[in-house]
Chains A and B, each alone.
Chain A
């Protein structure tokens, strides 16, 4: 079955880059996603990458996809206090295009 794994916590200094990592099991996934959850709120899509891409850049965000190792990463450049949140990696299951499986989430905290 599908499974997505990520580390639970990451702490970075303000202004540094944050790198959040994720591994997934479904090699046939078509889309992989990064969602952000701020305290007391639902999740919102941050960015996504299609499975035929290796990298996607969107302002301060860089997504890297290594299909061979089934590894996805999210890099946030110049991390700000407003980036404090839980970041979820997710994949669209090949078995059903409507089925989206999430990882455990990585809580990013920013220290001054």
Chain B
């Protein structure tokens, strides 16, 4: 099983350009997430989708949009990239439902390194 797959792995953008980060999971998970990782800041939640058809803002949603295309896929879009969005982006998924021994473990992709010049 591939688990969580993110594309692209690397991207360089100019200020003002737009792009979409793609994420897909093959574990039939209900919940999906986008985090960004910056030195000294840890992982900060951008948006999450508790289940297909729903999305919610996390800690740092400004400048981003998301789409939960179906149960498998959750994309992150930067409409007008800014240098402050230079970061490593991680997609994750989890079972998401309470109970039944579900611990809420997150499964992460390998990350997408984005540089905005």
Contacts and interface: CB of A to CB of B under 8 A. Distances in A.
Contacts of A42: 4, 90, 92, 108-111
Interface stretch (B11-19, B71-79, B96-104): B96-104
19 contacts: A8-B40, A30-B98, A31-B103, A42-B4, A42-B109, A43-B43, A43-B106, A88-B43, A96-B50, A97-B97, A97-B98, A98-B30, A99-B48, A99-B58, A100-B94, A100-B104, A100-B106, A102-B43, A105-B43
Contacts of A103: 42
B56 interface: yes
| Chain A at the B interface: SS class | strand
Contacts, number: 70
Nearest to B32: A98
Nearest to B43: A102
B26 to A, nearest CB: 15
> Which of A8, A31, A98, A103 gathers most chain B CB within 10 Å?
A98
Contacts of A92: 104
A77 interface: no
B48 A102 contact: no
A81 interface: no
B41 interface: yes
A99 to B, nearest CB: 6
Nearest to B42: A104
A41 B110 CA distance: 5
Interface string A33-52: 10100000111110010000
B43 A99 contact: no
> Which of A6, A30, A42, A44 gathers most chain B CB within 10 Å?
A42
